[in-house]
Amino acid sequence: MIKKFIGFSVGPVLGAFISFITIPLTTHFINPDEYGKASMFLLLQMVLGSFLFLGLDQSYTREYHSSKNKLRLFQNAIFIPLLIAILILLISIFFSQSISIWLFSNPNHILPVILFGVMVVFMVIERFILLSIRMEEKALEYSLLNIFVKLFMLILTLLFVLFIRRDFLAVVYSTILGQILGDLYLIIRYRYLFHFNYFSIDKELLQKMVLFGLPIVVATSLSGLLNSLDRIFLRMWSDFYNIGIFTATLKIAGTLAIIKTSFTSFWVPVAYRWHEEGKELKYYKLVSDSILLLMSIMFFAILIFKDLIASILSSGYSDSKYIIAFLCLQPIMYTVSETTCLGIVFSRKSYLNIWVGVISIIPNIILNIVLVPRFGAMGAAVATSVSYMCFFFARTYFSNKNGLKFSTVKHHLVFCLLLASAILNLFQLKFIILFSIVLLVITLLIQTSTIKNIITVYKLKGSKEWDFS
């Protein structure tokens, strides 16, 4: 189990290292205003990704282990998202000027808008190819293939900022072309998945996947909106500088997203398999407690070294150190909630995710309206973190009501300490590092039982009492 987790982690860790090089490279040559414009393009990519798949990607993973014909399942699952992607490509061609005005406040950037439409088609193909590899639990292969796209983006970013241009279009073009080139390799390598010679729509299977996926697409759209409202409100009531600061800090907080990506890639297929095998509740609880311990330690590590991390960016981004703590709460809440929400998916009550989205998005809208006009990026960061705490509480509550219930008192106590730390780090306090260390020690004391359980399980490895095969 640990080997598989490490295998799934290779890609995100190396990918994060590539991003670690790319971010300071970009911020050194591109000022916050220009980076803010680029972030609007990245925002559109994220928003489209939230509803593009119609939840059929989640249906594909849900049906994978119960389907005998994997190729037929793959082709039926990708069919509708691929049609939607082609429709988006046509829209980007015919309405390129309007989209350019909304994104960049300029009607003349038509080429990047059209190329974006092309990229969306490749995004769909990439998503389902990687899901196929992931569900086969080919951990190392999945990780290495994930690296290709980011590697192409790094190379192209270097070429653009060093030899071609140093504005927001350098980020836009390197993102688009890196995505397309990386995905072309995937398509060639896994071309057998696209042998449609004997393809036929399985109405019963497709209906089953759509019924499961549609509530998820509503929930995913709400989640996508939750992840983008901060920059939308900044675009409305602030300026490109604040958008640039916020986005750059979000990239730094992405250090924690290494664990988020690694863990979710590994955990979803394992959790589904455990459910089929009838694993005891203690396994799920141990995983949940362990990921909480890991994420909280990483959170405080970032806070203790936040000045050093912020210095990696250019001096124009120095304000990022004040909001980094709040933005780190987002990947923490999401990752830990992946271990406490399983009652929703196991019960097939995917519509509950809609309520999770609603419960999360209401405080987000209210806080953004109140805080962004006055505090800019700082207000948006607070709104995002508080809404993700609501996201965790809602997911856990509905899961508990549907068959997967274990104590999360420890989680709540730790999250309160993390929130307190984030609030303290909003200010330039004299002994802020000491405060962070003290709160780290208290957090570890609360999780003493988790540390003891991990040691016990390690000592009993291979025994019937704890079987992680």
Sign of CA dihedral 2, 142, 218, 240: positive
Burial of 463 (0-12, 13-18, 19+ CB in 10 A): exposed
Phi/psi class of residue 202: alpha, beta or left (left: φ > 0; alpha: ψ in -120 to 50)? beta
Burial of 376 (0-12, 13-18, 19+ CB in 10 A): buried
Task: Give dist(CA 199, CA 307) in Å, integer.
Answer: 56
Residue by residue, pLDDT tens for the chain (469 residues) are 666 666 666 666 676 667 666 666 677 777 777 777 777 777 788 778 777 887 888 888 878 877 778 888 888 888 989 999 999 999 999 998 988 887 777 888 889 889 889 999 999 998 888 888 878 777 677 777 777 777 777 788 788 877 888 788 888 888 888 888 888 888 888 888 888 777 788 888 888 888 887 777 777 777 777 777 888 888 788 777 787 778 777 777 766 767 777 777 777 778 878 887 778 888 889 888 999 999 999 899 888 888 777 676 656 666 777 888 888 888 899 889 988 888 887 887 878 888 888 899 999 999 999 998 888 888 888 998 999 999 999 999 998 888 778 888 999 999 999 999 999 988 877 888 899 999 999 999 999 999 998 888 887 766 677 776 6
- Closest among 408, 388, 384 to 397, alpha carbons compared: 408
Q: Let me know: does 149 contact 126? Beta carbons within 8 Å.
A: yes
What pLDDT does 363 receive? 92
Q: Which two tokens stand for residue 187?
A: 């398509």
Q: Let me know: does 276 contact 67? Beta carbons within 8 Å.
A: no
The secondary element (H helix, E strand) that includes residue 366 is helix 352-375
Q: Let me know: does 231 contact 40? Beta carbons within 8 Å.
A: yes
Q: Let me know: does 313 contact 23? Beta carbons within 8 Å.
A: yes
Q: Let me know: does 123 contact 85? Beta carbons within 8 Å.
A: yes
Phi, psi torsion values for 350, nearest 5 degrees: -65, -20
Alpha helices in 30-53 (DSSP H): 32-51
What pLDDT does 463 receive? 66
Task: Give dist(CA 215, CA 349) in Å, integer.
Answer: 9
Q: Which residues, other chains included, contact 229 with Cβ-Cβ below 8 Å and sequence gap of 6+?
A: 361, 364, 365, 368, 383
Alpha helices in 1-138 (DSSP H): 2-29, 32-51, 56-64, 70-94, 96-104, 110-135
